[in-house]
Chains A and B, each alone.
Chain A
């Protein structure tokens, strides 16, 4: 098994979860209603917990301690998609990102339960179960608000239009894509994209939201190879502020 390709895959998975988890956690205390605030915060915490499990797996492969990996790298060393790092905007955008992103995550981690790297396959079973709630939450809200009032439908449609090019950046292929597929680590981004488009169409069919022609969209890529938007470094600075003030502190 190509260890470089495996590590690249794990970093991508973990960084996506850490960054979206941190972004979503910014809603804590500010959610639109108390129950939703709790649910959204809990899911953010799930994602950070999942990133921790993946960083621990990387540590087992000789990488540094999870805290060092999470807090001491600069933006160009992160492999998350740009979609995950975008600012939260209004709740409509955060909810739409949650729906598009977690739909992909649920399919991705279902595929990963069949990974040839058995520690990842085993972890993916647990992560898939947590994601089951995340997609239930996202789908229920999207169906509700996507059919509720003119305002809710218009706002979600605007959020969808803004989010889609970035969402397609989730599926940017790895420099090691062929090795990853050939060694059975992961069935690949192309297959994931196909299934994601089917699932997104399936859910949105029950709403008044309209998907544009997929072929007219230009994916926003670069995140997987460390070329990020201007939004990532400020996020990292804030996230790691306390840790960096005393990296040796014992918590």
Chain B
């Protein structure tokens, strides 16, 4: 069946003989996770993803996609494949109570950035960095160092070197023209104008 709807064309074919085939990749760029720091006294938080051919362009494209309207002091991006994520918990169960033992892994210590999910459906928030040999060890280390007061449902660990941070000289990117009310819906008093228009045209109704 050939359809104009690409989702239909991606459905598995039914009733045909043949060997299993690898799933065809989508014809699009890979994704990068975008983290925004709205103010200097606030931590980075996850805002969403962008598609891009590489990390540098992901940074460039994320700037307009996520920091155009709202306050921002810093932006950071990481390839989605470099985000190591724990399992997810629910209710009052902290994921820190469910982590398997990290053992004593081999290899060199590296810096990892740790992100917590405190509420289901909200964004992951940056809590700090730790030195570890594996992502699991990094999460164990994070529990010791940051002793979270709230239930943590999910943890992300990303190697610091895998993150493209804003350089100090790039902070100027957010010092732009201030009078841009025309970008906000609040600048358009459409409701008032509509009411006025309706009042003026009321008597003309048949």
Within 8 A of A (CB), among B41-77: 50-54, 56-57, 60-65, 68
CB distance from B135 to the nearest CB of A (A): 28
Pairwise interchain contact A136-B173, C-beta atoms closer than 8 A: yes
The count of chain A contact residues (Cβ–Cβ below 8 Å) is 25
Within A89-143, the residues touching B (CB, 8 Å) are 126-130, 132-133, 136-137, 140-141
Q: Check A38 against B64 for contact (C-beta < 8 Å).
A: yes
Taking A33-B29, A33-B51, A35-B51 as contacts, is the C-beta distance between A50 and B65 under 8 angstroms? Answer: no
Q: How large is the interface on B (under 10, 10 to 19, 20 to 34, 35 or more residues)?
A: 20 to 34
Chain A residues closer than 8 Å to B64, beta-carbon distance: 35, 38-39, 42-43, 133
B172 at the interface (CB under 8 A from A): yes
| B65 x A38 contact (CB < 8 A) | yes
* B108 at interface by CB-CB < 8 Å: no
Per-residue contact bits, chain B 154-194, to A (CB 8 Å; 1 contact, 0 not): 00000000000000001011111111101100000000000
Chain B residues near A45: list those with CB within 8 A. Answer: 183
Scan residues 31-77 of chain A and give those whose CB is less than 8 A from a CB of chain B: 33-36, 38-39, 42-43, 45-46, 49-50, 53
Chain A residues within 8 Å of B182, by CB = 49
Taking chain A's interface residues, is the majority helix, strand, or loop, or is none over half, making it mixed?
helix
Instruction: Find B50's partner among A35, A53, A130, A144 (CB 8 Å cutoff).
Output: A35
Cβ-defined partner of A129 (8 Å) among B50, B53, B60, B172: B172
**A36-B64 Cα distance, complex, nearest whole Å:** 9
Contact at A144–B57, with CB atoms within 8 Å? yes
Could you say which residues of chain B place their CB within 8 Å of the CB of A133?
A: 63-64, 173
In the complex, the answer to whether A126 meets B177 with C-beta atoms within 8 Å is yes
Partner of B57, one of A42, A130, A140: A140
- Besides A45-B183, A133-B63, A141-B60, 10 new A-B residue pairs in contact (Cβ under 8 A), listed by A number: A35-B50, A39-B63, A129-B173, A129-B174, A129-B175, A132-B173, A133-B64, A140-B56, A140-B60, A144-B54
